[in-house]
Amino acid sequence: MKSFRYLATGLLLSISITACNKIIDIDPISNIGVNAFYRNYEETKAALTGSYNGMQKPLEYEWMLTDLRTDISKQGVANSSTPINFEFNELDMFTLNSAHDKVYQYWISTYKNIRSINYVLKSLGVSYTGGQTTVGEGTAKMFPQQKNQLAGEALFLRAYHYFNLVRLYGDVFLITEPVDPEQSKKITRTPLAECYQLIVADLLAAKDLLSQSPYVSTSNAEAGRATSWAAKALLAKVYLTTNRASSALPLLDDVISNSGHGMLPSFTDVFSINNEMNKEILFAVRFKAGGFGLGNFMANTFAPSSSGSLIVNGDGNGYNFPTNDLDLTYKTPATGSTDARKNVTMGKYNSKLYVKKFLSQVLVKLDAENDFTVIRFSDVLLMKAEALGFSSASVNLINDVRSRAGATDYVSGDFNTGFYKYPTDGSVNEINTADKFLTALLNERKLEFAFENQRFFDLVRTGQAITLIKNHFSVEFDSHYKAYRPAFTLAELQSHLTTEKLLLPIPQRELDANDQIKIVQNPGY
């Protein structure tokens, strides 16, 4: 990222060990220089482990750039005078500018990890030219099977990062090998289509390089590393995002039929710290409590402020407030079937909602055990429903997910007073048109993946972001946004959200740091 992107003293890499069956680094070593690379399997694997742990830092900011800019999360303290809440307001209400600190922090932490991944790939002889990712001779000497495994994992991680960057920022700087700060200043933004070309090429290579052994064959020591199944699922989402549903379907069918992954009977068990990397999890960013500096921040960050130790030791910051709209979307009537996901996802303290999904008890603040799920099997099922479009088969896939959450067969009554599976014969006006199918699908994804940083991408991918976020402003205006001072009208609030503002600005620090070429800013900033 210009002079910030590739500092020679950048992200620390580390010696890897296995602790409690988690990928973890404890003893950091300095990063290597641009012209030096890893020499063998042990060094390269240790560096790659550092890249896995480098996925943690962007997550500190990702929820702000995704869920906070949707209808499931808001800055919950109107008229707060704290600087961080001012920053949250700008994201929540789409009034930010290119100098926004958290927009920059996500950008720089992601590019730092891409830099580390590129060192690994270069050492393995992996190159990208002409839309193709290939594996050749590198400085690191090892058996072919070892090289393929490490290369596949690194390519998955790079594709994951770039996929997030392009969905948030649009055209980005496509860096596929280590470069020094001065070289980086001569690199301009790459058109979106070419960025996606790299993402697809990396994932196509990753799915073929990585082992296709079923989930049951995964050893505890390797749990959490990228697999061919994770690469196929992520590639399917890329295809859905780029309007290639027909290309996504065979990948999703392969994962469903052959991966050995599947849904757990209990939604609660999916997120239990005693059941991590279970069969439902295709990929997760791993965290490790214990004072190593690798614990999850979410328990304390999302717990209610001034709750002391009633929710989690060390109190909470009270960030990432669930919206009233989300609260009411979960069907939990006094009688009849209820949605079991709500109590796992969110709680209430002193009338304020808070996020529970990644909350476990801590000994040290910001040091929870919880992994952060990236791809789950229920996502694979709902992606297949999306790829199929409106049909009885796709409605049944939605019902599979609803059933696990506690939905019962519909006989008669009102969907507002019970939690039912959808009839597939159109006997109820719940899903009998393509538009209603899309509404039901997005609703299910909203309930299933709340606070997993998927909602914003789902809304943009399906073209529903403007409509549903403006509707959220309308629903919550009287109860929340109306209390802000200076006052503004609902129409003024809604006017901030435009198609241009769905993309974040390229960080101003990135533009200002480059004294070689002019970098074009995204429209609207």
What pLDDT is stored for residue 34 in this prediction? 54
Distance CA 457, CA 154 (A): 23
Mean pLDDT score across all residues of the chain: 92
What pLDDT is stored for residue 23 in this prediction? 59
In this predicted structure, which of 13-17, 72-76, 411-415, 493-497 has the lowest mean pLDDT? 13-17
Provide the CB-side half-sphere exposure for 185 (13 A, CA): 12
For residue 466, the SS3 value is helix
Q: Are 92 and 480 in contact (CB under 8 A)?
A: no
What pLDDT is stored for residue 142 in this prediction? 97
pLDDT, average across residues 313-336:
94
More confident of the two residues 222 and 171: 171
pLDDT tens digits for range 258-270? 999 999 999 999 9
pLDDT, average across residues 38-67:
97
pLDDT, average across residues 22-35:
50
pLDDT, average across residues 182-195:
93
What pLDDT is stored for residue 37 in this prediction? 82
In eight-state DSSP terms, residue 326 is H
What pLDDT is stored for residue 31 in this prediction? 52
Distance CA 171, CA 449 (A): 27
DSSP string of 389-458, one letter each residue: -SSHHHHHHHHHHHHHTT-B---SS-TTSS-BPPPSSS-STTSSSHHHHHHHHHHHHHHHSTTTT-HHHH
pLDDT tens digits for range 90-148? 999 999 999 999 999 999 999 999 999 999 999 999 999 999 999 999 999 999 999 99
Tokens in use for 512? 């200002």
pLDDT tens digits for range 373-423? 999 999 999 999 999 999 999 999 999 999 999 999 998 878 888 899 999
Q: 12 pLDDT band (50/70/90 cuts)?
A: very low
pLDDT, average across residues 296-319:
97
Q: Are 14 and 25 in contact (CB under 8 A)?
A: yes
pLDDT, average across residues 152-173:
98
Q: Are 341 and 447 in contact (CB under 8 A)?
A: yes
pLDDT, average across residues 279-287:
98
pLDDT at 14 over 50: no
Q: 162 pLDDT band (50/70/90 cuts)?
A: very high
Distance CA 242, CA 234 (A): 13
